[in-house]
Structure 1
């Protein structure tokens, strides 16, 4: 408080010499805290406050931005005790709410294997902001929940999740592989309205080729142009394709269009995952395109570390970044950056699963599940 004690006399003088406070996003006649008083009496701060309000006003109907604003006020701006600190806080939040243009493909640095195949730099405390978006219903006997797909429509984040109970297990030969089927419900989250909307309840959902496996294989459910397509078993092995228009809250309708996509470990990949995560998922090795020697690869984590068990690998569509859950000793959500050769823990909670990337105003973010909550995390501001 000593720094702000030195600031207080200047604020009092400013108020006495300038009865009309500078413009601000709040009523300066009701300013009660030293931070609010500084904003109302310092022209540069008042201008930054106005600029931030211009960015925030058209976004405040969305929960993500309301939560980002609350966290920023509580944990950043209102902890300041001097004008330079407040100015820096405003600069950070204005940057956070400013759309970031996508880099042209030609300007993306060429990816190269790490030198001497050294493990990536492991970062345990990546400072991603995290908060809950919604809670999904507790289901008696539930043992499976997954983010199915995400999409941003007209600036609004939409997420589809599946919550189910284990139904049966089929053993197949050769290789003694198995397929689990789940009986459960699909829910839609829209950032422009509170809570979850049940798309359909009590179906035999067929969303992936290997439901419940570490790498789920080919996907049979996803979003295309604002429509969510999925399949469910209707009788025996027969399946029906269905379509649901996001945000409509209408009944899903039968569709002749089938959704099919590569697994998360292949879709949008910037390098090839060498090992089969359903067999050898205790470490990660990435091979690069043909211009490099066929033996050149990245050994992402130390092979001697035994606490890894990689689950739900998924590539970022716009960045050379891979995310995965870890169900081993290092349980949580991890980020693999091929360009900077880093392995970052971006969500430390051990219950965190099913991370799926999404861009928010061009900033890197993920949605994921934790317990019975749909969560959101966004990368630190640049």
Structure 2
């Protein structure tokens, strides 16, 4: 007969006698002070898992994302356990979180089809996306603007370029400061202060149009207005924390609704942004299109801004400014619409892959934040 494992409180009375006979865990068992730590030291399977976890964490702890993940796990998961079963489960999940995952193979674009018109996207409100503050910056001036310009993971390190400033309609551009966040360096680095930044064809619109600033091969390219209609191209090597330099190369790419697109946004979001529909290249169920959100129903709470496709997955993300304000995820393969960041002030979501896991960086008030999917 199999009996249930005793709680840590009961087990704690017997741990002191056992600890000297058990292989040490990833931390110093001689300094173990809590019942959780003593249980790990006294249980060979838990001690082995702790060693494995620390072996993986050692190669990642120079990155703030993983320090935050580890701190949250210790505080909110491991140290809340009251029995050995809970600890075993907690360690298995965290070892998996620290394991490099392959990016799932993407379906061919022609294999993605519109769903039956009689069906609707399945609405989800997952609560397991872990969210962290990566950095804080000085809030934008009154009526100012904050945008993530681009984000990429290079050699395992997350880099985010963001802009804080004011939209100047007379100049048809922005005046403000560009910042870089690098996950292996503390804080935000000002790439260029008080410049006339030209990043998009239609600044301030729901779909900002063609992009004039972005990351290519570890270099961030942007355009800077120097007076009147004159612009010149600049470049900044990510992570260098050196002054940007003039460049003969000019960055230009399609809007975020077209860049990496798996389907075409079915209406002009600059004119009609109360619904989201997608058009596909192939027909299914006698249709080429599908409605992701309720069609033209302002009361339904949709006001869609900044739709952005993942480079690696058949997924689109968007900010919502209506009553359902937050950040949403559109899975066009499995036809699921998910609210992945619930805070109403969350904006400017940009997708990245962290150690093979799906994640988004976004802005919330004066904070640069990250949300990561633990179930990838």
SS at match of 1:296: strand
Post-superposition shift, 1:42? Answer: 0.6
**In structure 1, how many angstroms separate the alpha carbons of the residues matched to 2:76 and 2:247?**
48
Distance 1:238 1:34, change over 3 A: same
Alignment partner of 1:346 out of 337, 340, 350 = 340
Which blocks of at least 5 consecutive residues in structure 2 are unaligned?
Answer: none
Match of 1:330 in 2: 324
User: Conserved in 2, the CA contact under 8 Å of 1:142 and 1:164?
Assistant: no
| Partner-residue secondary structure (3-state), 1:115 | coil
CA RMSD in angstroms, aligned pairs only = 2.0
- Distance apart, 1:38 and its partner CA: 1.2
Using the alignment, how far apart are the partners of 2:373 and 2:38 within structure 1?
A: 31
Q: Is residue 310 from structure 1 mapped to residue 311 from structure 2 by the alignment?
A: no
2:264 and 2:280 in contact (8 A); partners too: yes
Q: 1:107 to 1:32 in 2, by over 3 A?
A: farther
How many aligned positions are there? Answer: 371
How many Å separate the matches in 2 of 1:81 and 1:130?
Answer: 25
Moved more, 276-285 or 290-299: 290-299
Q: Report what 2:42 is aligned to.
A: 41
The TM-score normalised by the length of structure 2 is: 0.93
Task: Classify the secondary structure of the residue corresponding to 1:86.
Answer: helix
Q: Note closer, same or farther for the CA distance 1:123–1:153 as it changes in structure 2 (3 Å cut).
A: same
Deviations 1:127-146 (A, max 9, x none): 21111101112343351010
Native 8 Å contact 1:126 1:344 kept in 2: no
Distance 1:278 1:201 in 2: 30
Distance 1:294 1:253 in 2: 53
Provide the residue aligned with 1:198 in structure 2.
190
Partner of 1:71: 72
Residue 97 of structure 2: aligned partner: 96
Distance of 1:277 and 1:106 partners within structure 2: 26
Q: Say whether the 8 Å CA contact 1:364–1:379 is kept in structure 2.
A: yes
Q: Mean Cα displacement is larger for which, 132-141 or 211-220? A: 132-141
Of residues 267, 282, 286, the one that matches 1:275 is 267
Distance 2:99 2:62 in 1: 16
C-alpha distance in structure 2 between counterparts of 1:56 and 1:109, whole Å: 40
Offset at residue 149 of structure 1 (A):
0.6
Map Cα deviations across residues 299-327 of structure 1 (whole Å, 9 max, x no partner). 11122453111001100011110000001
* TM-score, length of structure 1 as denominator length: 0.92
Aligned to 1:183: 175
For the 8 Å contact 2:124–2:337, the answer to whether it is kept is yes
Task: For residue 297 of structure 1, report the CA deviation from its aligned partner.
Answer: 2.0
Specify the alignment match of 1:132 in structure 2: 133
- Matched residue SS, 2:224: strand
Residue of structure 1 equivalent to 2:250: 258
